[in-house]
Amino acid sequence: MERLPAEIIIHILHLVPACWFSSLYQVFPTAIVDEALRQQLRSASAVLQLVSTNMHELMGPQEPSNGRKNESSLPLYFATLDSAYRLIWLLPNFSQSQHYFQVKDAYVSHGKLVLRPGDTRHSQRQHVLTSLYTIRKCLPPLRAGSFSGQSEFSHSATKQDMTIHSAGLLVDACLLSTQQDNTECVDNKRFPPRPMLPSYYSRKIPSPSSSSSFSGPYSPEQPIYPDTTCGYFLVERVGISISVMLDLLQQIPSHVA
């Protein structure tokens, strides 16, 4: 293949299943494989899923396809591959208001926020990011009393930006209570460099019409009573190292799409 033009090699490599890309990096120049991976991810549907393992604590817009009824998820799509910092950046679907989780006022928490391949039928791999309670305790509880989480919430905490760091992963998010929008501009001048968010995106409490995009047995069309939503966890960006991404996709035997 060394006599072939680079664009032909890239076209061939981008058709290779994602689970083989770690091997491709050992054989071909990094720049060639980076571009092939970039093309493959660009043509994919949801590359990864951000999953709440307990929808009664953190409820996303979709139910996972793996049949775990207690879970809910938020799909993530390819935005860019940063070759310099070896990071892949993913964004949620802002245009269809599938960029947030509803935070429920559940104090006793065992749920986790995890990252999984978009096609979970072919892989059981996942990466745990944080506990759901780490997110929930940043919002004011709806109830009073020692079991409501009131003692964990600090009313002096006014800035609700949140970046979750894990090995080879980071999640940029914003927390909004049900009482007030966050009028601050999104800070794009951060390190490592982030991709720009859509110009139409703003940090605000989701409207009832946008919340109707949520699915599942506890969707707004069939609301539970009383509503235990105490805020919203707005996902803005997910950065994942190329090595961690390929590890997550390692057991997928076919195309990531």
CB of 78 within 8 A of CB of 85? no
The whole-number average pLDDT for the span 75-84 is: 96
* 18: Cα separation from own chain's centroid: 19
pLDDT greater at residue 206 or residue 8: 8
The whole-number average pLDDT for the span 138-149 is: 62
Helix, strand, coil percentages for the chain (3-state, nearest 5) = 20, 25, 55
Closest CA to 236 of 180, 187, 197: 197
What is the rounded CA–CA span in Å between residue 48 and residue 183?
Answer: 29
The pLDDT of residue 69:
76
pLDDT greater at residue 118 or residue 88: 88
The H or E element that residue 37 is part of is: helix 30-43
The pLDDT of residue 150:
47
pLDDT greater at residue 49 or residue 159: 49
The whole-number average pLDDT for the span 230-234 is: 92
- In the chain, domain spans: 1-43, 46-241
The H or E element that residue 101 is part of is: strand 100-104
Whether the pLDDT of residue 213 is over 70: the answer is: no
Torsion angle defined by CA atoms of residues 130, 204, 56 and 114, in that order, rounded to the nearest 10 degrees: -30
Match 């964004």 to its residue by tokens: 91
CB of 236 within 8 A of CB of 172? yes
The pLDDT of residue 158:
43
The whole-number average pLDDT for the span 200-225 is: 62
The pLDDT of residue 63:
78
CA atoms within 13 A on the CB side of 200: 5
Q: What is the pLDDT of residues 51-78, one digit of tens each?
A: 999 998 999 998 766 667 789 999 999 9
The pLDDT of residue 252:
47
The whole-number average pLDDT for the span 87-98 is: 93
Give the count of beta carbons closer than 10 Å to the beta carbon of residue 184: 11
Whether the pLDDT of residue 146 is over 90: the answer is: no
The pLDDT of residue 215:
52
The pLDDT of residue 226:
66
Report which residue type is found at 189: K
pLDDT greater at residue 136 or residue 153: 136
DSSP conformation class of 150: G
Count the helices and strands in the chain (H runs, E runs).
Answer: 6, 10
